[in-house]
Amino acid sequence: MTSALVGLARDGALLALALLAPLVIATLLAGALTAIVGAVTQVRDPALGFAPRLVAVLVAIAITAPVIAARVEAFATRALEAIAVVGQGST
């Protein structure tokens, strides 16, 4: 039973990392692009770095939202089933 819960926690942590990956990659790409544009134009405005990253994260969320929702739903279903099994075994 304990191994099932440890496996569930491990799966949850890996799921969180997998779901955050597209957002982090979008932020990194937008940051690199704005750094290149800032270096070429020598513009040092803080908003120049923040706004594109915000837009990139919002676009990444809009694109990956269905996949994120499906994977979270599948994990939640597995987690609830595992919790029910563990709860029944301890009584």
Give 73-88 pLDDT, tens digit per residue: 999 999 888 888 877 7
* pLDDT given for residue 87 in this prediction: 76
Cβ atoms < 10 Å from Cβ of 61: 13
Phi-psi region of 42 (alpha: psi -120 to 50; beta: other; left: phi over 0): left
Confidence class for position 30, pLDDT limits 50, 70, 90? very high
Q: How confident is the model over 12-27, as a mean pLDDT?
A: 94
Per cent of the chain over pLDDT 90 is: 53
pTM over 0.85, yes/no:
no
Of 67, 73, 79, nearest to 22 by C-alpha is 67
Q: How confident is the model over 40-52, as a mean pLDDT?
A: 83
Confidence class for position 6, pLDDT limits 50, 70, 90? confident
Distance CA 57, CA 77 (A): 27
